[in-house]
Structure 1
Amino acid sequence: MIETKTNLIELVGNRDFRLAKIGLNGLEANDAVRVLQEAPDREKIILFRLLSRARAKKVFKLLSHSDQLTIVGALGERPRKVANLLNDIEPDDRTTFLKNLPENVALPLIQLLSPEERKITNQLLSYPEDSVGRLMTPEFVAIKPTFSVETSFEYIRHYGRNSETLNVIFIVDGEGKMIDDIGIGELLLAAPGQRVQELMDHRFIALKAIDDQEIAVQLFKKYDRVALPVVSADGVLLGIVTVDDIMDVDEIESTEDFHKFGSIKSAIADPIRAKVFDLYKNRVVWLFLLVFMNVFSGAAMSTFEDVIQSFVPLVFFLPLLIDSGGNAGSQSATLMIRYLAVGGVQLGDWHKLVGKEFLVSFLLGVTMAIGVAAIASFRAPEIVAVVGLSMIVTVFIGSLIGLLLPFIFTRLRLDPATASAPLVTSLSDICGVVVYFSIASWFFGS
């Protein structure tokens, strides 16, 4: 594949466009995308222009948004080319491209669309930003329950050429309301004269256009579907969402959650091309806020100056103890955020999990206390009990913070991923310092 990429780029450099066109259009769409991704911008644009109209439609969908924008910008001098491209790509893919553009850039592109495609695009863009309506395509096949199997196939052959998928055929009544769906395999195995209504079981799963995209992700995972219908509040079938679009959403949501968990403001789509200042401002806000949170740790330590001066060996074990509490909290938070995201636990399950976490964190704390007490017995035997007891309590508190924060954020209708590792660690650090020196003060009577 590397040789193919190099050859095609060299052919363009040598202006041998005929051979480059033959070679590029002979590749699978995914391989053609890799060639364009590797090419410099000038060669990238030329290579895209060499694609056939049908292949360009498939390749454009798979490119990154920045590459799509580069290509559309380069084609801007040829409005007809841009119009053909935007009219050809699927409505949901076109919406995904346009929604990420500034309004002053998107509007002129929308005006290049045919009246029919412009109407579809404006309708999809009218739905809330992260709603299912932004993902759906109106290109599907729907049949009536009164159709015979034979008539259904004639209808599918006539109207199904542009459908996003034919794996599932949707059934609507005279008013266009969704009443069922049926797999194409079931139709194939049925007798030609059999009525569609005889094959219906009236069990189907549908999304609403205003549903959040995360709901769609969960339903696709739960029911293992290749496509789901999207209906209006009145049950009218508006469009469908396919699994490839949901996979893209799932990847984006997972990336956003990962960034939030690391206390990064937002995801950078292409970190290699991103500017240094963009990367800087993407991370600085949370780090700056967490610096001020950690001031409380220093303030807590300052209240125990007498204890520290009297028992200097206590300082040696301080980083070990507070890091252990923070690590335990991060573990708990990671597990809970994941369980909440995939639907493994619900908001009302928190009290059930707290009971288990009491036991688990206690066992973890005791195990780690034995290890740290063994170290303390060689370095400072007089504080073995303080270090051991502090380890148990610190791990215990850190684990509970990590468990409860995602539930609290969910209850407040905030993204639980915002209960991020640095936040959990900072809270655990403050608690760890207070616990450690409070136990030391109590133990030594200071």
Structure 2
Amino acid sequence: MEEMVEQIELLLEQDNNTQLQEYLNNLNISDVEELIGELPEHGPRFIETLSINRAVNVFRILDFPTQERIIKKLSGDKIAEIINELPPDDRTSLFSELHGDAVKALILHLSPADRKEALSLLGYKEDSVGRLMTPDYIAVKKSWDVNRVLSHIRQFGKNSETIDVIYVLGDKGVLLDDIRIREILLVDPDTKISQLMDGRLIALKATDPQEEAINIFRMNNRTALPVTDDEDILLGIVTVDDILWIANEEYTEDIQKIGGTEALDEPYLDINLFKLVKKRIGWLVILFLGEMLTATAMGYFEHAIEKAVVLALFIPLIISSGGNSGSQASTLIIQAMALGEVTVVDWWRVMRREIVSGLMLGVTLGLIGFIRVAALGSFTTLYGPHWILVAFTVGFSLIGVVLWGSLAGSMLPLLLKKLGADPATSSAPFVATLVDVTGLIIYFSIAVMIMKNLLG
């Protein structure tokens, strides 16, 4: 080993990169690892010099502190190569251990295109804030004065995503505060940054859902927000233009889901026809199978229908009223959740409101239904001699079905959210299908109670 170290030191002294590369590529992987242990300050150069396959094989057997130290010193191109060539298990292990400043160093050296891939590889979920962040921002120390900050902005500001907000960092890159540029421009140049800090910091976590970031931007009127890791180390920023784009995508996706189809990932006129059918067929099959349960429910009450055929006349009226009220409630709650007005913890308040509003809506429709049946029944023979019982059956059924539709439509989005699913998938067709089946059960159960002497 001593002889090997001496030879390497000689090549380093001569700055003979060609011979250094040849020498390193002819060593065993374990020998290169030992060399990095003996000459840690030259570890990054050894990794840069090795062919990519050997560099990856050496890098993957180094201990994590050495990997982290080397990553901070590598060029962006070499980082991108190593990340992409690492076996998935080694890559996951590395990223799970990486400290915030190492992550920042990693994404800072990558091009925008490579950065997107790196953020994906870093394990940030597709719908997380981590996928949106950029490392192009202005950061300063709290001990600096305004003169030094302005000089720093002149030097690095042109490469920043925004200079509207300046970020104040402590030890190891921990985010302490953010200061708007106007506050810096309007004070004496000798003022210390620490004197401008107010502690009113709003920051996102890299693992936060993008949907939460949309609400935070909306409520705080910010052009950019900082993104930190679990140790409050500043990793990057998210700007409002990215958030507006995501908000538009979220809105489009939710509207498509509410309509009872999978979200389209391409414009409607551009998407392949077979792909479009594939996106729609899944939900249609599920809803079709659900609607088949209505036949099962009707089969169960076949005897009642035979005894009073007139009941069948009102089936479309009953189930459509329940489905409509459920769809209304579902759409209102999904929209309120998207705007941050309602969360899962508000379920009881939502239920109370829907019980009251569902009863009021049901009574209104029930009265209209009762009056309509009673009016025709008293002047015609359309509903038979027992038209008054039919009128009461329709009236009370509408109250029950509309109330149930409102409750089901409002509670399903909250239940799905609690279970970790997307509330938009409790779409209007899904709620309507559920209420169709249960609405029939409510209708015929009330009919049996009111008209039991006739149906017995």
Which of 419, 423, 442 is the aligned partner of 1:412?
419
String of CA shifts for 1:280-307, please: whole Å, max 9, x gaps. 1111111111111111111111122232
Residues 1:254 and 2:261 are matched in the alignment = no
Which residue of the partner structure matches residue 228 of structure 1? 225
Which of 405, 408, 427 is the aligned partner of 1:401?
408
Deviates more, 1:184-193 or 1:349-358: 349-358
Residues 1:433 and 2:440 are matched in the alignment = yes
Contact 2:323–2:431 (8 Å) recurs in 1: yes
Q: CA deviation at 1:175?
A: 2.3
String of CA shifts for 1:29-56, please: whole Å, max 9, x gaps. xxxxxxxxxxxxxxxxxxxxxxxxxxxx
String of CA shifts for 1:238-289, please: whole Å, max 9, x gaps. 1110000011111111222222222212224211122211111111111111
Q: Please give the alpha-carbon distance, in whole angstroms, between the structure 2 residues aligned to 1:291 and 1:367.
A: 31
| Secondary structure of 1:169's aligned partner | strand
Q: Please give the alpha-carbon distance, in whole angstroms, between the structure 1 residues aligned to 2:421 and 2:440.
A: 29
| Secondary structure of 2:227's aligned partner | strand
Residues 1:190 and 2:187 are matched in the alignment = yes
Residues 1:309 and 2:306 are matched in the alignment = yes
String of CA shifts for 1:147-202, please: whole Å, max 9, x gaps. 21122111101110011011111111242211111111111111111111111112
Residues 1:287 and 2:284 are matched in the alignment = yes
- TM-score, length-normalised on structure 1? 0.72
What residue identity is the alignment partner of 1:432? G
Contact 2:116–2:131 (8 Å) recurs in 1: no
What residue identity is the alignment partner of 1:422? P
Residues 1:167 and 2:164 are matched in the alignment = yes
Matches within 5 A, 1:2-401: 116-117=110-111, 120-125=115-120, 126=122, 127-377=124-374, 378=376, 379-380=382-383, 381-382=387-388, 383-401=390-408
Distance 1:121 1:260, change over 3 A: closer
Contact 2:140–2:167 (8 Å) recurs in 1: yes
Structure 2: give runs of 5+ residues left out of the alignment. Answer: 1-75, 77-107, 377-381
Q: Please give the alpha-carbon distance, in whole angstroms, between the structure 2 residues aligned to 1:353 and 1:404.
A: 8
From the CA coordinates, give the structure whose radius of gyration is larger: 2
Q: Please give the alpha-carbon distance, in whole angstroms, between the structure 1 residues aligned to 2:443 and 2:401.
A: 8
What residue identity is the alignment partner of 1:394? V
Contact 1:366–1:392 (8 Å) recurs in 2: yes
- TM-score, length-normalised on structure 2? 0.70
Q: Please give the alpha-carbon distance, in whole angstroms, between the structure 2 residues aligned to 1:119 and 1:358.
A: 53
Deviates more, 1:416-425 or 1:127-136: 127-136
Q: Please give the alpha-carbon distance, in whole angstroms, between the structure 2 residues aligned to 1:430 and 1:121.
A: 47
String of CA shifts for 1:340-374, please: whole Å, max 9, x gaps. 22221221221222122111111100101111122
Q: Please give the alpha-carbon distance, in whole angstroms, between the structure 1 residues aligned to 2:297 and 2:117.
A: 57
What residue identity is the alignment partner of 1:309? E
Distance 1:268 1:177, change over 3 A: closer
Deviates more, 1:309-318 or 1:327-336: 309-318
Contact 2:254–2:263 (8 Å) recurs in 1: no
Q: Please give the alpha-carbon distance, in whole angstroms, between the structure 2 residues aligned to 1:332 and 1:394.
A: 13
Q: Please give the alpha-carbon distance, in whole angstroms, between the structure 2 residues aligned to 1:120 and 1:353.
A: 43
Q: CA deviation at 1:121?
A: 4.8
Contact 1:260–1:418 (8 Å) recurs in 2: yes
Q: Please give the alpha-carbon distance, in whole angstroms, between the structure 2 residues aligned to 1:372 and 1:130.
A: 47
String of CA shifts for 1:134-154, please: whole Å, max 9, x gaps. 101111111111221122111
Q: Percent identity?
A: 40
| Secondary structure of 1:349's aligned partner | helix
Distance 1:149 1:364, change over 3 A: same
Q: Please give the alpha-carbon distance, in whole angstroms, between the structure 1 residues aligned to 2:114 and 2:262.
A: 35
Give 4+ residue runs of structure 1 displaced > 6 Å after superposition: none
Q: Please give the alpha-carbon distance, in whole angstroms, between the structure 2 residues aligned to 1:204 and 1:192.
A: 23
